Amino acid sequence: MDRKAIPIIAASGIEYPANEEPDFKAQIKQVFGKQIRRIGPFIQMALIGAADSVRAAPLPEATNVYFTSGSGDMDVTIDVLHRTVRDRQIPKPLSFVNTVSNAACFYLTKYFSIGGSTSFVSTREFALESAFFQAMTDMSVLDVETALVGSVDILTTPDTTHRTRVGSAPAEELAQGSHWFRLARSDTSATPIGYLVDTSIFKDAGSLIDHLKPLLSANCFITFGNRADSSNSQKMINELGAQEYQAQKQPAGHYGTNCGQIFRDYLHREDTSASQLLYVQQNEQGHLSAVLLAKD
Amino acid sequence: MSFNVFLSGASLHTSLGFGLEEHANELRSPSADLLALPNKIKLPIQLADEDAPEEIPYHLVARKPLKDTETRYFEILEKVVENCLSTSGLSEEELSHTGLYLGTSSSDVCLIEQNYLDELKNDENAQPLNLYCSMDNLGAHLRKKFNLSPLGMSANTACTASANALLYAAAAIKSGRLKHAIIVGAEILNITTAYGFQGLELLTQTRMRPFDARRDGLVLGEAASAVILSAQKPSFASIELLGGATLSDGYGMSAANPDGSSIARVIRQALKQSNVSAEDINAIKAHGTASLLNDEGESEGLKQVFQTLPTITALKPYIGHTFGASGLTELLILNACLDAGFIPGTPGISEQACSKLGITLNQTSQNMENPVILCNQFGFGGNNTSLVVRYG
Amino acid sequence: MAELDKDTLMAELKEMIVEECDTEVEADEIANDIRLVGEGLELDSLDALQISLAIKDKYGVRIEGGPDSREAMANVSSLADFIIKAKQAS
């Protein structure tokens, strides 16, 4: 494996289609053995999704969290906007403090004893990519032993407004999910389930191909986000010589960070050893993001 | 590994003025007015509660009266970024490889509020957030508008956001992923923050007096700031980011541990990462929010790290708490003052010392050449950040 | 509003505390004299602010910061007394 590739030693998460109404409160109680007060679905999903990755092995003190979301905790924002703009009231203190995007990081720190830093970073349309990018960057120059990279995106109502909020097409299925990836230093004693080889953003398909071609192995799968246009995609398939990835479990629907489901699908299945997975998404401007994973 | 990256093209807009020079001119011999409670303003949405105050003190950015929320928002931010880029000396080609890192707490919530308010006028059942939600909407807009690199991101870690954006970009430069980055701090008036802090009873009705026995809360402030970060030292005297640290604290959602332990820890790590010892620090730019708990935690933390406290300055009494923008904005105010050869003081603030805290802020501007400075930022969600910079 | 009956009011306040602060205990498990903030029900200053705001919304009674509020916020019984007294005074 490439010396610069970062071992992924665990991946975990949850995902639900729009027609399911999971009882997150009960799940929190199951995962933590007790109730955690004053948190809504967004933070609950962060904690539930991260738990298995955290508990896969003891966390070193130098553990950083890189948390992200496509659309953020829309629930608390909606609650605060109802109070302030519609009802012209002071926002409820417990809602207001949770409007900071890094509110979930406080609970992650408290309940998983995170010893390093926590952050909330995002790039429009490329949320999970930005968290991977910063984790990779920090691991290359700082003394970070473990990075927990995670995302959460939730469902809101009503359906039509939700589609505007998350940028989905009218007929597209909707879903919500939380996905977590535990990155370790290259000298880890744990057995990697895969590697994060590279992640970047490119102005066009040509520069993406130029950059990635030297990094790809003969056995490379490729898959695209919902915004990628088909002519670009075909060009990449042809020029990179990659074959389209067929997930065992596709994302249940659209949300900003549903690529996390594809990454977990790839990392956890047994029939993809000695391969790579390239995920490409496109933004409004036509820029392309790439995340390249690999397995021994 | 220390960062050793350099700041240039500093641009900022606060209640003190626009640009470095105006800030230095105001702070060289500050008038008493500058430290008084700012003018009260009428927020775009008035509370229904009859006994709620109609007006609220707010440090608006200078010469930008409140009107047309959306136009005002983009004008303030674009002007600061444009000014930064045009004074940076970077070519168009270099700019196309320059990554933008935005640090903000409230992001574009003022536009979200305005949009909802407008829609409610036509339809009482209108839905809030009837737009594409991303914490990076502004970042994406600025990248596109100024033809910057597609790389970059928004950091939303409450009051440490722009300080953290600086650290994230520094790591990207150090690792070779980027040659240059532009860091932007943004915090524009919005009612979520204003009424939210009112609800937390953290706003003062007198003056913002950090570390003072009379301290009773903060004043809200707006700011926009931008700076270029590069590995190469510019030909003129500038701020060098030696290093820094950000650490997470599980003590409390809205305050750092008042025993100072978590703050001492982040300061120590920042010094270590910067290859600097506590004795090397010539001055400290405190976070200093003038809230009871924050000042307690910060003073305890400082006393645990420093046997003898160096000069301590606090800038929020002048511009208010500019939340996510405060880390970068206050650093650039220091930059402005150091270009003019001094560290600013806050006459009268902390004069009535709080015995429990034992911190006295610098009272008058003090000439200082090439100092090494520690800059503190602490935020909601247990996010604590310290930066170590050197001027020269 | 008709004069408030203290028992009814205390029952309402317990429901309110459970709802606003998302406590693990049920309303009828909260004793009238159990301490709300700190040891006891283990609420914190944010909970206290949340309860103050809910009381202002529902009863129109403002609990300002300072010693009076700490005293009022001691337990459900003292909260009810504070509200009744404030209502009578207005």
Per-residue pLDDT of B100-128, as tens digits, reads 999 999 999 999 999 999 999 999 999 99
Residue given tokens 């249940």 in the structure block: A252
Q: Does C53 contact chain B (CB < 8 Å)?
A: yes
The minimum CA-CA distance between B327 and chain C, rounded to whole Å, is 25
- Residue A263 C-alpha from the chain's centroid: 9
Q: Which residues pair with B386 in a beta bridge?
A: B245, B376
How many degrees, rounded to 5, is the angle at CA A50 between CA A44 and CA A55? 125
The minimum CA-CA distance between C85 and chain A, rounded to whole Å, is 24
Return residues 130-189 of A near B (CB < 8 Å). Answer: 130, 133-134, 137-138, 140-142, 156, 158, 161, 164-167
Q: Does A36 contact chain B (CB < 8 Å)?
A: no
Of the candidates B112, B151, B382, the beta carbon closest to that of A109 is on B382
pLDDT digits (tens, 9 = 90+) for B25-53: 999 999 999 999 999 999 999 999 888 88
Q: C-alpha distances in angstroms, A289 versus A128, A242, B137, C63?
A: 10, 17, 17, 52
pLDDT at position B174 over 60:
yes
What are the extents of the domains in chain A? 6-184, 195-295
Considering only alpha carbons, which residue of chain B is nearest residue A204? B150
Cα separation of the two ends of chain C: 12
Eight-state DSSP code of residue B127: P
Residue ranges of E strands in chain A: 6-17, 63-68, 118-122, 146-153, 175-184, 194-202, 220-224, 243-244, 275-282, 288-295
Give the residue-averaged pLDDT of B191-196.
96
Eight-state DSSP code of residue A184: E
Tokens (6 digits) for B253: 């959602």
Tell if the CB–CB gap between A93 and C49 is shorter than 8 Å: yes
Measure the CA–CA gap between B304 and B369, rounded to whole angstroms. 27
CATH placement of domain A6-184: 3.40.47.10
Query: Which of B51, B200, B201 to mutate to probe the C interface, most C CBs <10 Å?
Result: B201
Contacts of B152 in chain A (CB under 8 A): 123
Of the candidates A37, A92, A93, the beta carbon closest to that of C23 is on A37
Measure the CA–CA gap between B194 and A96, rounded to whole angstroms. 11
Please report which confidence band the pLDDT of residue B178 belongs to, taking 50, 70 and 90 as the band edges: very high
Contacts of A122 in chain B (CB under 8 A): 134-136, 153-154, 156
The reported pLDDT for the residue numbered B227 is: 98
- Residue B75 C-alpha from the chain's centroid: 19
Please report which confidence band the pLDDT of residue B332 belongs to, taking 50, 70 and 90 as the band edges: very high
Sort strands B223-230 and B5-14 into parallel, antiparallel or unpaired.
antiparallel
Beta-carbon contacts of residue B290 (< 8 Å; ≥ 6 apart): B204, B208, B209, B210, B211, B212, B215, B216, B217, B218, B316, B317
Tell if the CB–CB gap between C49 and B253 is shorter than 8 Å: no
What ipTM goes with this model? Answer: 0.98
Whether the CB-CB separation of A127 and A256 falls below 8 Å is answered with yes
Long-range contacts of A266-274 (CB under 8 A, 24+ apart): A266/A194, A266/A221, A266/A293, A266/A295, A267/A8, A267/A11, A267/A193, A267/A194, A267/A293, A267/A295, A268/A11, A268/A193, A272/A221, A274/A217, A274/A219
Annotate A138-162 with b (16+ C-beta within 10 A) or e (fewer). Answer: bbbbbebbbbbbbbbbbbbeeeebb
Cα separation of the two ends of chain A: 7
Q: C-alpha distances in angstroms, B160 versus B34, B164, B362?
A: 25, 6, 23
Considering only alpha carbons, which residue of chain B is nearest residue C62? B51
Annotate B58-95 with b (16+ C-beta within 10 A) or e (fewer). Answer: bbbbeebeeeebeebbbebbebbbebbbeebebeeeeb
* Residue B10: other Cβ atoms inside 10 A: 27
- Residue B102 C-alpha from the chain's centroid: 12
Measure the CA–CA gap between A124 and B141, rounded to whole angstroms. 10
The closest of B231, B260, B267, B234 to B359, measured between CA atoms, is B260
Tokens (6 digits) for B60: 């608006």
The range of the structural domain enclosing residue C51 comes to 6-24+31-89
Contacts of B1 in chain A (CB under 8 A): 141-142
Sort strands B152-155 and B98-104 into parallel, antiparallel or unpaired.
parallel
The minimum CA-CA distance between C49 and chain B, rounded to whole Å, is 7
Tell if the CB–CB gap between B157 and A102 is shorter than 8 Å: yes
Annotate B139-171 with b (16+ C-beta within 10 A) or e (fewer). Answer: bbbbbeebebbbbbbbbbbbbbbbbbbbbbbbb
Which of the two residues, B255 and B113, has the higher pLDDT score? Answer: B113
Contacts of B199 in chain C (CB under 8 A): 49, 53
Tell if the CB–CB gap between B200 and A69 is shorter than 8 Å: no
Q: C-alpha distances in angstroms, B255 versus A37, B67, C81?
A: 18, 34, 31
Sort strands A175-184 and A146-153 into parallel, antiparallel or unpaired.
antiparallel
Which residue numbers in chain A have pLDDT < 50? none
Considering only alpha carbons, which residue of chain C is nearest residue B51? C62
Query: Which of B118, B133, B166 to mutate to probe the A interface, most A CBs <10 Å?
Result: B133
Q: Does A93 contact chain C (CB < 8 Å)?
A: yes
Whether the CB-CB separation of A130 and A149 falls below 8 Å is answered with no
* Residue A126: other Cβ atoms inside 10 A: 33
Residue given tokens 């806050």 in the structure block: B346
- Roughly what angle, to the nearest 10 degrees, separates helices C45-59 and C76-89? 40
Contacts of B231 in chain A (CB under 8 A): none
Beta-carbon contacts of residue B318 (< 8 Å; ≥ 6 apart): B14, B15, B16, B26, B27, B30, B34, B35, B333, B344, B346
Q: Any idea which of A77-81, A112-116, B235-239, C1-5 has the lowest mean pLDDT? A: C1-5
Measure the CA–CA gap between B384 and B248, rounded to whole angstroms. 6
Considering only alpha carbons, which residue of chain B is nearest residue A116? B247
| Number of domains, chain C | 1
The closest of C21, C34, C22, C29 to C79, measured between CA atoms, is C34
CATH entry, A195-295, from 3.40.190.10, 3.30.565.10, 3.40.50.10310, 3.40.47.10: 3.40.47.10
The minimum CA-CA distance between B281 and chain A, rounded to whole Å, is 22
Measure the CA–CA gap between B116 and B361, rounded to whole angstroms. 43
Whether the CB-CB separation of B251 and B262 falls below 8 Å is answered with yes
Please report which confidence band the pLDDT of residue B11 belongs to, taking 50, 70 and 90 as the band edges: very high
Q: Which residues pair with B243 in a beta bridge?
A: B388
The reported pLDDT for the residue numbered B207 is: 95
Q: Any idea what the CATH number is for the domain that residue B217 is in?
A: 3.40.47.10
In which element (H, E) is residue B58 found? strand B56-59
Tokens (6 digits) for A207: 């520069």
For chain C, which residues lie within 8 Å of any Cβ of chain A, measuring from their own Cβ? 20-24, 46-47, 49-50, 53-54, 57
Tokens (6 digits) for B243: 């290093």
Helices (H), chain B: 19-28, 69-88, 92-95, 109-122, 137-145, 161-174, 191-199, 261-273, 292-305, 316-319, 326-339
- Residue B241 C-alpha from the chain's centroid: 16
Measure the CA–CA gap between B373 and B242, rounded to whole angstroms. 10
Please report which confidence band the pLDDT of residue C3 belongs to, taking 50, 70 and 90 as the band edges: low
Of the candidates A35, A90, A92, the beta carbon closest to that of C24 is on A35
Tokens (6 digits) for B2: 């220390």
Please report which confidence band the pLDDT of residue C2 belongs to, taking 50, 70 and 90 as the band edges: low
pLDDT digits (tens, 9 = 90+) for C16-68: 999 999 998 999 999 999 999 988 999 999 999 999 999 999 999 998 777 77
Q: Phi and psi dihedrals of B220, rounded to 5?
A: -75, 145
Give the residue-averaged pLDDT of B20-27.
98
Considering only alpha carbons, which residue of chain A is nearest residue B103? A121
Of the candidates C44, C53, C65, the beta carbon closest to that of B199 is on C53
Tokens (6 digits) for A263: 């990454």
Tell if the CB–CB gap between B150 and A201 is shorter than 8 Å: yes
Considering only alpha carbons, which residue of chain C is nearest residue B50? C60
The minimum CA-CA distance between C84 and chain A, rounded to whole Å, is 23
Q: Phi and psi dihedrals of B290, rounded to 5?
A: 65, 15
Measure the CA–CA gap between B66 and B62, rounded to whole angstroms. 11
Chains touching A (3+ CB pairs < 8 Å):
B, C
Considering only alpha carbons, which residue of chain C is nearest residue B48? C57
Q: Phi and psi dihedrals of C33, rounded to 5?
A: -110, 10
Mean model confidence pLDDT for chain C: 91
For chain B, which residues lie within 8 Å of any Cβ of chain C, measuring from their own Cβ? 49, 51, 199-201, 252-254
* Residue A20: other Cβ atoms inside 10 A: 11
Residue given tokens 């911190």 in the structure block: B359
The minimum CA-CA distance between C5 and chain A, rounded to whole Å, is 27
Tokens (6 digits) for A156: 């809101």
The range of the structural domain enclosing residue B242 comes to 5-391
Considering only alpha carbons, which residue of chain C is nearest residue A40? C22
Measure the CA–CA gap between B325 and B184, rounded to whole angstroms. 8
Tell if the CB–CB gap between A109 and B164 is shorter than 8 Å: no
| Number of domains, chain B | 1
Residue given tokens 């935005």 in the structure block: B102
Three-class secondary structure of residue A288 per DSSP:
strand
Measure the CA–CA gap between B165 and A139, rounded to whole angstroms. 16
Contacts of B92 in chain A (CB under 8 A): none
- Domain annotation covers residue C40: yes
Contacts of A202 in chain B (CB under 8 A): 150
Considering only alpha carbons, which residue of chain A is nearest residue C43? A37
Q: Which residues pair with A224 in a beta bridge?
A: A280
Tokens (6 digits) for B358: 């034992």
Helices (H), B97-203: 109-122, 137-145, 161-174, 191-199
CB pairs under 8 A between B and C: 11
Measure the CA–CA gap between B23 and B337, rounded to whole angstroms. 7
Three-class secondary structure of residue A195 per DSSP:
strand
The reported pLDDT for the residue numbered A3 is: 57
- Domain annotation covers residue C1: no
Sequence letter at residue B42: K
Tell if the CB–CB gap between C65 and B51 is shorter than 8 Å: no
Whether the CB-CB separation of A283 and A289 falls below 8 Å is answered with yes
Chains touching C (3+ CB pairs < 8 Å):
A, B
Q: Any idea what the CATH number is for the domain that residue C73 is in?
A: 1.10.1200.10
